[in-house]
């Protein structure tokens, strides 16, 4: 499998509980390398732009308000099959369905406040990485 990059976000519920290091350890233990990372605070407008694909979903307002409610850590993860590998490390969207040992099983508070975001496909990953990072900020 090819080396890939994927976009990860440590969400406000996790930064609030000081879980950045524990979550990063999960990525590194799985063989994912953090090749870019920054802590930022999104505006509601920026969160709406990032999640535009979900704008018709009933939870869009709740999701975008939540993503702007505190700091997030945006990061680029690199590794063999990084997109799928990260999805495995994250676990299912709803922590009740997440496999034991995954980030969401261990740390997520609810289906909405579920600690991490990860790109769902290589093409989405390219778009999402470009939303937050310039090439100069990514050091593999
Ligand atoms: P993901 O790819 O596993 O993050 O899941 P989705 O792409 O389906 O949803 C994007 C994000 O929207 C999720 O990570 C949740 O934060 C949020 N979300 C999804 N379903 C719900 C829901 O039923 N209620 C709320 N409040 N948020 C949701």
What are 54-94's pLDDT values in tens digits?
999 999 999 999 999 999 999 999 999 999 999 999 999 99
The rounded distance, in Å, linking the Cα atoms of 71 and 66 is: 10
81: left (phi over 0), alpha (psi -120 to 50) or beta: left
Q: Give the Å distance between the CA of 29 and the centre of ligand 1.
A: 25
Q: Give the Å distance between the CA of 70 and the centre of ligand 1.
A: 17
Sheet harboring 116-118: ordered strands across?
33-40, 72-80, 3-10, 116-118
User: What is the per-residue DSSP string for 95-125?
Assistant: GGGSPTTSHHHHH--SSSS-SEEE-SSHHHH
Q: What percent of the chain has pLDDT over 70?
A: 100
Domains and CATH numbers, the chain: 3-41+71-132 (3.30.70.141)
Question: 49: pLDDT confidence band, cut at 50, 70 and 90?
Answer: very high
Q: Ligand 1 in contact with 117 (CB < 6 A)?
A: yes
Q: How confident is the model at residue 41, as a pLDDT?
A: 98
Six token digits for residue 90: 């994250």
CB neighbours of residue 58 within 10 Å = 8
Q: Which of 58, 114, 121, 128 to mutate to test the pocket of ligand 1 (most atoms within 8 A of CB)?
A: 114
Per-chain mean pLDDT for the chain: 98
């Amino acid at each position: 499998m090819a080396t890939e990059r994927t976009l990860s976000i440590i969400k406000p519920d996790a930064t609030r509980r000081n879980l950045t290091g524990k979550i990063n350890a999960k990525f590194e233990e799985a063989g994912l390398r953090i090749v870019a990372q920054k802590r930022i605070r999104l505006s509601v407008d920026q969160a709406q732009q990032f999640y535009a694909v979900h704008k018709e979903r009933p939870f869009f307002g709740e999701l975008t308000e939540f993503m702007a409610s505190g700091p997030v850590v945006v990061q680029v993860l690199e590794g063999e099959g990084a997109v799928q590998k990260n999805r495995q490390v994250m676990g299912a969207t709803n922590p009740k369905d997440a496999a034991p040992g995954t980030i969401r099983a261990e740390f997520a508070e609810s289906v909405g406040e579920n600690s991490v975001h990860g790109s769902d496909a290589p093409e989405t990953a390219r778009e999402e990485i470009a939303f937050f990072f310039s090439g100069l900020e990514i050091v593999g």
